[in-house]
Structure 1
Amino acid sequence: MTEQLRLYTYWRSSAAYRVRIGLNLKDLRYETVPVHLLRDGGEQHTPHFRDASPQGLVPVLKHGNRMLRQSVAILEYLDETWPAPPLLPATSRDRQRVRAIAQAVACDVHPLNNLRVMRYFEHTWHVPQPERDEWVRHWIVDGFRAIESMLNDHPSTGRYCDGDTPTIADCCLIPQVYNARRFGVAVEGFPTIARIEQACLALPAFDNARPERQPDCPAPQ
């Protein structure tokens, strides 16, 4: 019997979005525990949540009594604990490529435009909103140019980032595409990324993980 899974998440967190996709692809039931990153200065800074995440970051996945942190590490944990369907390819060469694409998002693009960076720009350096938004767009476009090159015309690229089965690379890429659209990046300028996004979002596992489908997503005004 699977021990209870509890995901500490925020509806618009792209890192949490990655893990929601992975859980859905594995068809794993989990309880959602919203952590509002903006309310009252951010619930991630409360002592209670810091016990779960010393970095004060979402997501955290609680599996039984274990607290699992860092989205890509959580995805690999899911794949090792519940191997079917796999989130990594069968060969070491293809696994390396999938991890490289995932890390291009998770290590190189996302950290430059996450909430902590934007708040530091706003509250410490008093950078105006238009300049902050341009910073975000610049680094997303820079990263997407590289990722598009990694995907375009590569023999391992199929319907998804690697072949015809979603992998950890897709789990990381699709939330970053959501962020790109949110900040006005013309994703259609990256045709392979845009095509893979459409293929992924046609799957219930990706569609149900969308930010607007989460229970803590604010009602439209």
Structure 2
Amino acid sequence: MTLSRLPRAVARRALRGADRLGTGSALLARRLLARLADWVARGRRADLTGWRAALGPLLRLALLGGLVWLVWRLLQARIWWLTWSLAALWAGTAWALTREAKEEAVEEEEAGEEPGPSRDDVITLLRTLAGDRPGVHLSTLLAHLQEHGQAGGWKVTDLRLRLEALRIPVAPKLKVDGVPKRGVSKAALDGLPPLDGQEDSPDASPAV
């Protein structure tokens, strides 16, 4: 490589690094928002009604607001070591997430036509997450999958499309713990018609 080409190569590498960091930051932000939203929603108590049942989510929102205010005040105080530490932590996590997403894409490509999880496995997971509630929100299911290293970079829409491909009906407004969001009800899972090629497949992976 000649000296004249060196600045171009450095610039291209810097652009690739910035693009990777931006992609990882967006993925990290989506994961944090999904988990925080699920954490706030789970604060609602099913044994209470009215404003008492909403106290849990409101208190958790207030706690998050106080935490954001505290971080903002610390940043305004110009504590440089804290600012740089938070920036480095965010950048390192975002960079690692892009590596995980790339490894997952390579594994999926190498797998080729390897069968994915069967619909029975997905239904079992949905029932487990629903527990004694009438169903489970897609945001809860997505957060669970991402906590176990799956569905990296997915949004609720991606998950909905995959569930509908398995002929699992998704309700636009399923009320769980008093919160109406997109989800799958346990009633809809009862009596589902068999999926051609899925119900008797012995090679279906229980990866879910």
What TM-score do you get using the length of structure 1 for normalisation? 0.30
Greater share of helix residues, 1 or 2?
2
